[in-house]
Structure 1
């Protein structure tokens, strides 16, 4: 009689299955309780299937199992039937032989970062295998019921792609050769040529950071950053890692003591860069120190380095931390109370720094307080914006090793490779010149990776272990530990005369930036720089404070600072319009900035005391008017007592270079075959850096008649490319673009012969002429006489300055429905009239704008990050899925050439998220009379606003 298996035997038992995977018969062995995703990725190395949320909420892991789409992350190996047919993205098509849906995704611009692309293709293919003639709504329903998530695109282009693929499969359209989409002599600039990397993303060949992990040399160890669960504010007495160090598979455990042993300061520089701040920017600890404090959930106490992730996590569970719980400041309301506990006190070395640690002031004309009070029409109210989570689909990951030159090399999701090199060097005790940062292909960022996250921990794990290391936190940990958008509390007053002319505006605002200063000055400035910026007024005073709290630390999020600013002032504009009895669209139009080139008229200048380089909003309002009137008519027709419809409007402006003296470099080299290589750090977090570089360089090098594939790119490696700055502030197209143009012009000048023709590479070498050239640019403003001036920051006492040479503009129109039983609001239609200058590539710009609108809808209606113990997955954080975003999205491009932009361009990425949320909430008011002043406008807040009216 057979003996029962022991627990050890059971844990080691395996299940073997005979399967057909991508048409190939296979016998595959796996542990019964592992997931199908683990078997495919880690055993079979089919990394086209991605690991995202790991709990069935995003669909990036979709495969087709026996004709049905399944989420591989929640499908257990033991439940996969034997003799199953499995299709992964690797079995759908190749770059040379694309499936109709892969091709359509490429040409429709449905691919941005590409992390969700394989999942959407597998899901869409399963639909098309069943139904080759779906309606758009059937496609949307299909993606909705299969929990498909995309944070980049806005979904519209993905539906476009499925519809186009269906037409191809019905024989109504044909697949064109991607290589033939460019015809010799065509301009790449101003075209809709697909981005080069889209074909690899569509076929599952584009490896992201976690895909790299499965293909690294066997010497790599796993590093796990350990943090206490649920502790936001506590004094730490002792950190005991002795049991963890003795655990199975552990190489070492890194603590702050190892940082000091390496002569590091255990600090990350927060880039404060302003005289008004009370911190020097070095308050951010890398690792928790004994005798110091934990200041937020997720502070890393130790890094466990082991042979496997399982062993690293098991060892981390044995770490003991003795601490004393302290009072927590979880929002700005608590932090600004006079008796509030201090986030930094005497034990920190900051001598009891107050929670309000930075003050910014903007003034214009007279003090407006009495002017507003005595105005025929005025408003006086408070507004609060949420701690919006980035909700990327790829968790934070990366790896570290010593390269061939002995440099400490970090391959991460960084979108600021040179900045991170500098920010962590002093803290870890390694000179910046000995640190190399490389950007991995990454599944989106939306700005959170302008901040160092895993970089210092990877570096310290490498230093202590002496072995190369990989690090990945799971999605729950990623959501809990990575930075978020800063909430803002705004008290705004504004007044208008009897004709509805703005007389004065006033604001006090408080930015909740968590416990670290990370670029907080730029953020705080935004609420002054863009305060009622689209409009003309004589008198203004705005005073802002940056405040410490114990909630999530904050870093860049797309449209950094402007969603907060416009949430306050564009809601106030709407309220004032109704006070005046004027239609909100008309009220905005009649109060637009009195702009003319180089104007010295204060009513034609921004709050910082300078006029923008262009001001297309009057023309944009004219183009928006027909849409607005038609949407209002439609809303009136659709409204019933059960469901009410309304239309809202907002205007917004955003910058396209970093505050103040911004600069960028880019190099170019002529190669022996006549092609060129462009080298810079235009980091790509899905926005299309490859096509940005190629489109700009191709236009600059037109005399050479190069094909796009003759422009090679070497991007975002600090050892091989010059410093182009971070891919932030929508600066890359203008700043890196101008540096590319400068390098191209230098190359052309060198190649040009006396007769106007151009030398070949061999002729350049024969004549001793260099084939390598460096490009450089600075952000500047243009003067009336044609001279330029380098941009400058804002004065701390008046706000006066010239921080930006480039801007983007938007008119946002939203039609919203409100269910009067559930009080749930839904955006039904959105129109964005935008001006980003001359457009490099329409597919990319359209994708950025659709995606920005979708994130704006989420910001308005669903997205928030409150209690980390609950708000740690996509559903609880309010991720906008396809049915939350309307298919009725319209883009209207107004392309006003920028005088100093490359070929007239400005930036793109952040403009579409600056103001859509306000238009949506203004539409809620137009629909049912509920004026929501705190976002997101969840049903409870809409109901509360309606109940307030009844009172």
Structure 2
């Protein structure tokens, strides 16, 4: 039954007809006000915030029958427009408050509600407001939002003008190394940026909406799928099961390593014989509306033979475990690390040895935009997919055979994306879209709800590390031994091979260890599949080595910062993979941190009480800046008839600022032409018209795209240059038959080499990023709850291309480090399907006091001396928090997250006079050295990764 009423929306009375059971958010969006985004649909993220009768509310949980007649409603569209910005919107732009931007409209509307009632708030009052209204952000670490509110309030109070607040490029300076707002910021702060769900809402009539029927069991033989009831449901056009897939129905997981015992083809797109994880797709329903599609999907029935579910890698590698994928052992890849001399004798004779077993949990990405996309046939007999993905060119390679479409008939286009952090390296949603569009011959679109987003998406793989570290009597490191296992979940997903390689590279990274022996292993389980996640592979590794660094410093009697200072990389030393770095910033970064560290220790000493224990923790982190050895990227540049330049790239933007990076690089590369920023046009991420720039992963994009941009710009300017040194116009180029479009290329070939699979020694990455992390914590001795009071980072990313974007990446990564350390986990796929259930860190969980100081050591091979930036800030901040907890309480956390119960158990044990145990994982029945000898006796013969 429909109703009608009048609402005053953005100062205009509007008569609307609505379903009383619908939400205010959906009703507003149907009116075209799609600046009101919808994410969690549970009132936990605040991206749907609007002002209703003077109060900020979350409109996704406000039913229309609870909205009074003649109510006053303000949405982001009523706050300001592109031609008449509200101070909040301008401030959000200049402070980098919008990264992916999906949360930005809700934040700005919420902030307006605050300033309407409190024109002069303190920073803590701003934070309290956003906490109260559950305004969540996964990208920024919240500091830019608070900065934005504080400056907008100053404008509204008349203390500064909009012109004072606005970014201004100094005359004669390029955008490079400035804090210029990203080109897409204006659309994001005004709510005019259309994300996937917005695009789906605005599609023409006749588009089929997809609903997915999921298995609600983690491991079973699939006996039958019954779609008969679903096919009778209203609006249903067709129901697809595995028998309707015209291809192999097997997604290609892209295994490369000759040591990998799997072919990577174990994943069925639509379940046919087995269920290997909760949420496997049984059927796709295509219907006339999203509601009809979801209702019919719920009516699909399946019959199973339940099997024991191995929800933990330790169980999956037990001797009596059955193969999850018949024919492939659950423990499907093992590799050795051999650096320097034998470690056994060194460990026996070393003056100081420490050891332990460490666990890093299955961290969820917790993006605020559920997975969405659309697909449609094109005029040439191919298929177009518009989606959120970090590696568009890889999608056809991984899914074409599965759906029975030739790779060159698949065109991939990137929609504006509401965050990813690695989750969208997986092409499963795209494969489902392609299967549906091929089977129906009609345009299709898919919008997952947040529960589906939670249980169906990949997660950070769990890591179990046994590690031992030895030093001489003076504190200099001599040797490391380790044995690690990554639980990669149900499927390969194209990331199992590189993950194990990252484990070798980052365990002990930052510390010069001349002799290393280790075994790395990776296994399947029935939990959520492992996929890429920011700082991929390093948080698990650093949890072991940076915890042991503190333990060893204590045993020696050294300060943990000074222990790292004497052992860190300097010219002549080599990293864990045996190579020497191109630059050595760690000693200087530690010098920069030292006075901050001493001040933090003094603060902790003064403010520590028996009830509120204060502590300080340190950790080192580093990460690479390319896709291993032999990375490549391409950029096209074109001179236009009006003298402007078009920059074509496949630089994927998940919110990290690909647009800002591309603009800054192009403006700098074409500096001799004297172009203004508005004379540079960006065309991005459409495989039909943009070249191969590669994945947004491995902190590679700025480094690789930058080098390709410089090459392309030089080629074009060389062609434009006249004998007298001036430049030809577009017309002169045409008149002289000189091409106006050129391709820039970048490659790491010639200055990188792949690791040897028999030793994991090599030099696969031409440059790295470096950081020293410090966390200051307060632990409630009565509850065990840890609060991070301040985070400090001294970091080196080379010459910074866009300081605003880099600041945002750092703040966001540190905030995710807080979540990794203290709260985030994905344990039960049937239960942990909301932000709160998965431990999402809100603004009061993250410190406002974040101090970052940069050292900009120019990279010899980098574009304008730059490296990358996205990964470093999540490499090891969690370990600095864990080390700070120990400094405060004497409780060493070996298993993340450091929840209050774990900390409190340790505090109580110490109070009872008990000695806390040092953990160790026993999971394979063979010692590390025995397994190492087995691997060494069977050397790998084959191409390097």
Q: Sort the TM-score into its range (normalised by shorter chain).
A: over 0.9
Once the 2 structures are TM-superposed, how far is the Cα of residue 179 of structure 1 from its aligned partner?
Answer: 8.4
Aligned to 1:117: 104
Judged with a 3 Å threshold, the aligned counterparts in structure 2 of structure 1 residues 904 and 155 are, in CA distance, closer, same or farther, namely same
Aligned to 1:18: 6
Contact 1:662 1:791 in 2 (8 A): no
Q: 2: CA distance between counterparts of 1:628 and 1:153?
A: 25
Which runs of no fewer than 5 residues in structure 2 stay unpaired?
A: 915-945
Is 1:250 the equivalent of 2:236? yes
Is 1:288 the equivalent of 2:288? no
Give the ranges of 4+ consecutive aligned residues of structure 1 lying more than 6 Å apart after TM superposition.
177-180
Q: 2: CA distance between counterparts of 1:180 and 1:940?
A: 47
Contact 1:355 1:548 in 2 (8 A): yes
SS of structure 2 residue aligned to 1:409: strand
Aligned to 1:880: 841
Q: 2: CA distance between counterparts of 1:177 and 1:932?
A: 48
Judged with a 3 Å threshold, the aligned counterparts in structure 2 of structure 1 residues 180 and 155 are, in CA distance, closer, same or farther, namely closer
SS of structure 1 residue aligned to 2:482: strand
SS of structure 1 residue aligned to 2:395: helix
Which region of structure 1 is more displaced relative to structure 2, 271-280 or 115-124? 271-280
Which region of structure 1 is more displaced relative to structure 2, 528-537 or 503-512? 528-537
Aligned to 2:929: none
Is 1:276 the equivalent of 2:259? yes
2:124 to 113, 128, 137: 137
Aligned to 2:439: 464
Aligned to 1:914: 875
Which region of structure 1 is more displaced relative to structure 2, 884-893 or 800-809? 800-809
Is 1:659 the equivalent of 2:628? yes
Q: 1: CA distance between counterparts of 2:628 and 2:406?
A: 27
Partner deviation per Cα, 1:189-221 (whole Å, 9 max, x = no partner): 011111111111000001100000111111211
Aligned to 1:870: 831
Aligned to 2:158: 171
2:586 to 600, 605, 617: 617
Contact 2:94 2:167 in 1 (8 A): no
Contact 1:329 1:341 in 2 (8 A): no
Aligned to 2:935: none
Q: 1: CA distance between counterparts of 2:863 and 2:785?
A: 45
Once the 2 structures are TM-superposed, how far is the Cα of residue 184 of structure 1 from its aligned partner?
Answer: 4.7
Aligned to 1:783: none
Q: 1: CA distance between counterparts of 2:806 and 2:890?
A: 35
Q: 2: CA distance between counterparts of 1:218 and 1:79?
A: 31
Is 1:551 the equivalent of 2:527? yes
Q: 2: CA distance between counterparts of 1:403 and 1:897?
A: 46
Q: 1: CA distance between counterparts of 2:226 and 2:566?
A: 66
Aligned to 1:9: none
Once the 2 structures are TM-superposed, how far is the Cα of residue 406 of structure 1 from its aligned partner?
Answer: 2.9
Contact 1:269 1:281 in 2 (8 A): yes
Q: 1: CA distance between counterparts of 2:752 and 2:258?
A: 18
Once the 2 structures are TM-superposed, how far is the Cα of residue 377 of structure 1 from its aligned partner?
Answer: 1.3
Once the 2 structures are TM-superposed, how far is the Cα of residue 467 of structure 1 from its aligned partner?
Answer: 0.9
Is 1:586 the equivalent of 2:573? no
**TM-score (norm: length of structure 2):** 0.95
Q: 2: CA distance between counterparts of 1:791 and 1:360?
A: 21
Aligned to 1:770: 739
Once the 2 structures are TM-superposed, how far is the Cα of residue 759 of structure 1 from its aligned partner?
Answer: 0.5
SS of structure 2 residue aligned to 1:644: strand
1:147 to 134, 141, 147: 134
Q: 1: CA distance between counterparts of 2:186 and 2:516?
A: 51
Q: 1: CA distance between counterparts of 2:59 and 2:584?
A: 50
Aligned to 2:927: none
Contact 1:105 1:111 in 2 (8 A): yes
Judged with a 3 Å threshold, the aligned counterparts in structure 2 of structure 1 residues 948 and 150 are, in CA distance, closer, same or farther, namely same
Aligned to 1:681: 650
Aligned to 1:62: 49
Contact 1:530 1:606 in 2 (8 A): no
Once the 2 structures are TM-superposed, how far is the Cα of residue 38 of structure 1 from its aligned partner?
Answer: 1.0
Is 1:342 the equivalent of 2:323? yes
Contact 1:252 1:464 in 2 (8 A): no
SS of structure 1 residue aligned to 2:758: coil
Contact 1:286 1:456 in 2 (8 A): yes
1:52 to 35, 39, 53: 39
SS of structure 2 residue aligned to 1:721: coil
Once the 2 structures are TM-superposed, how far is the Cα of residue 254 of structure 1 from its aligned partner?
Answer: 1.2
Aligned to 2:713: 744
Aligned to 1:794: 755
Once the 2 structures are TM-superposed, how far is the Cα of residue 794 of structure 1 from its aligned partner?
Answer: 1.6
Q: 1: CA distance between counterparts of 2:453 and 2:167?
A: 42
Q: How does 1:369-408 map to 2 (within 5 A)?
A: 369-408=344-383
Q: How does 1:725-874 map to 2 (within 5 A)?
A: 725-780=694-749, 789-874=750-835
Q: How does 1:18-417 map to 2 (within 5 A)?
A: 18-42=6-30, 44-176=31-163, 181-229=168-216, 231-259=217-245, 262=246, 264-289=247-272, 292-345=273-326, 351=327, 353-417=328-392
Aligned to 2:539: 563
Once the 2 structures are TM-superposed, how far is the Cα of residue 948 of structure 1 from its aligned partner?
Answer: 4.5
SS of structure 1 residue aligned to 2:428: coil
Q: 1: CA distance between counterparts of 2:691 and 2:113?
A: 45
Partner deviation per Cα, 1:564-608 (whole Å, 9 max, x = no partner): 111111011111111111111111111112x32xx4xxxx11122
Residues paired across the two proteins, number: 911
Judged with a 3 Å threshold, the aligned counterparts in structure 2 of structure 1 residues 733 and 772 are, in CA distance, closer, same or farther, namely same
Aligned to 2:511: 535
Judged with a 3 Å threshold, the aligned counterparts in structure 2 of structure 1 residues 792 and 269 are, in CA distance, closer, same or farther, namely farther
Partner deviation per Cα, 1:459-518 (whole Å, 9 max, x = no partner): 111111111001011001110110000000000011111111111101000000012112
Q: 1: CA distance between counterparts of 2:464 and 2:166?
A: 52
Is 1:481 the equivalent of 2:456? yes
Once the 2 structures are TM-superposed, how far is the Cα of residue 402 of structure 1 from its aligned partner?
Answer: 1.4
SS of structure 2 residue aligned to 1:678: strand
Once the 2 structures are TM-superposed, how far is the Cα of residue 944 of structure 1 from its aligned partner?
Answer: 2.6
Is 1:945 the equivalent of 2:906? yes
Judged with a 3 Å threshold, the aligned counterparts in structure 2 of structure 1 residues 57 and 307 are, in CA distance, closer, same or farther, namely same
**TM-score (norm: length of structure 1):** 0.95
Contact 2:776 2:884 in 1 (8 A): yes
Aligned to 2:939: none
Partner deviation per Cα, 1:393-422 (whole Å, 9 max, x = no partner): 000000000123332111011111001121
Is 1:905 the equivalent of 2:866? yes
Partner deviation per Cα, 1:413-462 (whole Å, 9 max, x = no partner): 11110011211111111111100011100100011101113101111111
